[in-house]
Amino acid sequence: MKKLTQSYMTGEGSGQLLYETIGRCFDRVAKQNADTLALVVRHQDIRWTYREFREQVDRLATGLIALGIEPGDRVGIWGPNSYEWVLTQFATAKIGAIMVCINPAYRLYELEFVLNKVECKAIIAAEQFKSSEYLNMLNTLAPEISTCEPGYLRAEKLPFLTSVIRMGATHSPGMFNFDEVCAFGDDDAYDRLAALDSELGPDDAINIQFTSGTTGNPKGATLSHVNILNNGYEAGKGMALTPDDRLCIPVPLYHCFGMVLGVLAAVSRGATMVFPSPVYDPLSTLAAVQAEKCTALHGVPTMFVTELDHPEFDNFDVSTLRTGIIAGAPCPEELMKRIIGDLHMETVLIGYGQTEVSPINHMTLPEDSLENRTQTVGRPIPYVEIKIVDANDRVVPIGEQGEICTRGYSVMKGYWNDDEKTAETIVDGWLHSGDLGTMNKHGYVRITGRIKDMIIRGGENIYPREIEEFLFTHPKVSEVQVFGVEDMKMGEEVCAWIQLKDGEMATEDEIRDYCKGQISHFKIPRYVRFVDEYPMTVTGKIRKIDMRAMMAEELKAA
């Protein structure tokens, strides 16, 4: 392969992109693999072939048509992983409605914001899970539900919402039941479903994914059929999935990892989807891998750690595994060795990207070295362009740090109803990630930090990743997160939160002494805290914004 001299690369692909709707792709695959097992949801005792799965999707699709859901209408989905979730994903795609993924961890303020931001016409919600009482929250926001006829909601705080569809068998005032809606479709609705097949277009918006909202309110990344179908297909191709494969999906469906790299990766290749539990549970995941003879397994690094370290791990036969995707955070080398060795995932892939690129733009290859699978996030995926640029938007030479930018089929249509934020993020077709990285001469990219995470101390630009990587070399350190905290004199000071290895003890001065003479004095953490865990999102991403807030409170009280 020709060696690169500047940090720009186009992912090499063979053949054409899938320029079709998700519904058309789904129908084609379901017809070709009618008797192949399509969906296993172990906690709901669901086992459907592609023929049965397609029948269930069409029942929900026609039921939604009968309710008056039309192409372009927004339909929210709220709850943990379930067969209803997967049916909603394909049913809305087949009728051209835009599925809005609502974080199962949202509370009242966030729920109200997202439903009104995208003007949801209907919401499909679970009853409750653990501390999240979804229907009670909806009733709190819209008490009018309890006195209205189902489908005729007129709520002061949720003015666009007309229908609430609840999962489960219990009946609730003012709400439809999911199974009830699936039975609504008549001959006219089925005729309309057939007509929509030729009316909908591959470039139509089909999904809204809300970003994490670490700064300000969440933004609704709007994705098309082409965006997510091809991203899923390429992920499935990278894993070499076939109808003989069974992909275990313990990651959440509301996030692109689950619904694109999981569901669409499997379905576009005719493979089987296996859901072990409503939310991630290591024991349920291991049990599913053994019972269903899964050949692929997804997860963020912390998920693999809890599986491998589970006291019952040795009781499970996971020898059928061979591949899967690790995403969401860097995978340490020792963990990768255990995933390959103890979980038998010899061709496991690393994926990197963001919601706005549907979600991955980089992936390792099955034959990549251990170094490339732990020190980089791989190369640009097929048909996608990647460049790394400086502050003036100029492509930097190979090996120099800059912002990672993406152009191609996977770039979102924009943020829903937010032209200003869209224009800030997408410039001349290039989506600016906010992530910093370097590219080597073979196109492999290494993530070095976030532009927003940069610490400015006394006029010096400090990148947390650089300090983190140095502190990783301390023999007592297991994990470290570095971030900036406000300081009246210096603007910001460096703070390190450190997890020590089991059985180890250390002091703040010991850590600072280790840095002296090794890294610049202004990079040495002024504040060192030893912690047992980090605040995380439900997808396993560490939230430095929460750490900064917690440190600010601590320092204010001191």
Quote the CATH superfamily of domain 470-557: ANL, C-terminal domain (3.30.300.30)
* pLDDT of residue 539 exceeding 70: no
* pLDDT of residue 453 exceeding 90: no
pLDDT digits (tens, 9 = 90+) for 125-163: 999 998 889 999 999 999 999 999 999 999 999 999 999
Segment 62-66 mean pLDDT = 98
* Nearest-angstrom CA–CA distance, 233 and 382: 11
**Is there a cis peptide before residue 173, judged by omega within 30 degrees of 0?**
no
* Nearest-angstrom CA–CA distance, 64 and 269: 27
Report the pLDDT value the prediction gives residue 301, as an integer from 0 to 100: 86
Report the pLDDT value the prediction gives residue 212, as an integer from 0 to 100: 60
Highest mean pLDDT among 103-117, 171-185, 294-308: 171-185
Report the pLDDT value the prediction gives residue 1, as an integer from 0 to 100: 65
* pLDDT of residue 42 exceeding 90: yes
Segment 214-221 mean pLDDT = 72
pLDDT bucket at 213, cuts 50 / 70 / 90: very low
pLDDT digits (tens, 9 = 90+) for 546-558: 999 999 999 998 7
Segment 177-206 mean pLDDT = 98
Share of the chain above pLDDT 70, in %: 98
* pLDDT of residue 407 exceeding 90: yes
Report the pLDDT value the prediction gives residue 214, as an integer from 0 to 100: 39
Segment 494-516 mean pLDDT = 95
* pLDDT of residue 216 exceeding 90: no
* Nearest-angstrom CA–CA distance, 256 and 252: 8
- The residue extents of the domains of the chain are 51-210, 470-557
Average pLDDT score, the chain: 94
CA–CA distance from 302 to each of 118, 306, 332, 410 (Å)? 33, 6, 11, 27
Would the CATH topology of 51-210 be identical to that of 470-557?
no
Segment 371-383 mean pLDDT = 95
* Nearest-angstrom CA–CA distance, 558 and 486: 14
pLDDT digits (tens, 9 = 90+) for 319-357: 999 999 999 877 888 899 999 999 999 999 999 999 999
Segment 215-243 mean pLDDT = 93
DSSP letter assigned to residue 213: -
* Distant-in-sequence, close-in-space partners of 332: CB < 8 Å, separation ≥ 6: 301, 374
Report the CATH number of the 51-210 domain. Answer: 3.40.50.12780
Number of H helices, E strands in the chain: 18, 28
Give the predicted TM-score (pTM) of the model. Answer: 0.88
Report the pLDDT value the prediction gives residue 518, as an integer from 0 to 100: 87
Report the pLDDT value the prediction gives residue 269, as an integer from 0 to 100: 98
pLDDT digits (tens, 9 = 90+) for 273-313: 999 999 999 999 999 999 999 999 999 888 998 999 999 99
* Nearest-angstrom CA–CA distance, 56 and 152: 26
